[in-house]
């Protein structure tokens, strides 16, 4: 990953952190526990384990996992995500979790002594895992298991679809579980995929909706955001000055043992 790409991702996730899901709301926690349970059915043992969560965000997986694991270390590029992680950790009095604010790269693995330091390496809905090197790094840090949750074949959101279409782009799922499954296969690792349907809602002012959409375009396309055009779309989706939109998604779960 180039320095320019890293900075672009960091800028996007700093924006996203403001309204990113939190780990212990009833709805989010139920989704998290379902996916953790599916990983356990594949043989992953949470109790007593040391876990690294790559692209941990606000701690959506890290902090519920920490309630059962021996210790959890979250890693995230975004300073604001790391701050909110710590805020949630303290609010829920979780003492066996910590967060490292750093890109997912070889330098971070070396600097923080992450090689073979964890029973489980976990990575969920993160663009930090896209390349063969990213996947190899997961394996290098894990002693027993890797768990990856990424995009499946579905991502629908009427507001963002209109924004993308207005910029000559198609709003679909980014590279995700199928790509990682392919990268694993190329190294001789077979990982079956479990598919999970999911959804989430976003709510904010018209100006926040414009900034939100601009962030997606800047991060995921080469199109230059046209602010006034996006504002017109936001107004169409606005009720009493508030824009609400919902993403329908499919996630793919991959679990594989590490030798």
Q: Which residues contact 169 (CB under 8 A, 6 or more apart)?
A: 217, 221, 223
Q: What is the pLDDT of residue 7?
A: 77
pLDDT digits (tens, 9 = 90+) for 38-58: 999 999 999 999 999 999 999
CA distance 190 to 89: 35
CA distance 18 to 140: 32
- Beta strands 193-205 and 242-257, pairing class: antiparallel
CA distance 258 to 140: 9
The stretches in the chain having pLDDT less than 50 are none
What number of CA atoms fall less than 13 Å from residue 236's CA on the CB side? 11
Q: Which residues contact 232 (CB under 8 A, 6 or more apart)?
A: none
Q: What is the pLDDT of residue 48?
A: 97
């Amino acid at each position: 990953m180039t320095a320019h790409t890293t900075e672009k991702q960091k800028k996007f996730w700093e924006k996203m952190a403001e309204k990113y899901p939190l780990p212990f709301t009833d709805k989010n926690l139920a989704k998290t526990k379902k996916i953790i349970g599916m990983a356990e059915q594949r043989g992953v043992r949470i109790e007593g384990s040391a876990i690294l969560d790559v692209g941990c965000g606000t701690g959506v997986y890290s902090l519920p996992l920490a309630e059962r694991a021996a210790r959890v270390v979250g890693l995230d590029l975004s300073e604001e995500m790391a701050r909110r992680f710590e805020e949630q950790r303290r609010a829920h009095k979780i003492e066996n979790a910590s967060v490292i604010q750093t890109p997912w790269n070889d330098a971070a693995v070396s600097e923080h002594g992450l090689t073979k330091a964890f029973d489980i390496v976990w990575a969920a809905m993160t663009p930090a895992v896209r390349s063969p090197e990213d996947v190899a790094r997961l394996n290098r840090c894990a002693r027993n298991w890797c768990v990856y949750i990424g995009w499946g074949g579905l991502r629908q959101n009427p507001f963002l679809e209109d924004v993308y279409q207005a910029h000559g782009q198609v709003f679909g799922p980014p590279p995700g579980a199928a790509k990682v499954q392919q990268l694993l296969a190329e190294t001789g690792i077979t990982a079956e995929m479990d598919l999970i349907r999911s959804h989430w809602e976003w709510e904010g002012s018209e100006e926040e909706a414009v900034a939100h959409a601009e962030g997606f375009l800047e991060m995921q396309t080469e199109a230059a955001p046209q602010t006034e055009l996006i504002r017109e779309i936001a107004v169409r989706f606005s009720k009493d000055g508030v824009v609400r939109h919902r993403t329908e998604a499919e996630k793919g779960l991959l679990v594989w043992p590490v030798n």
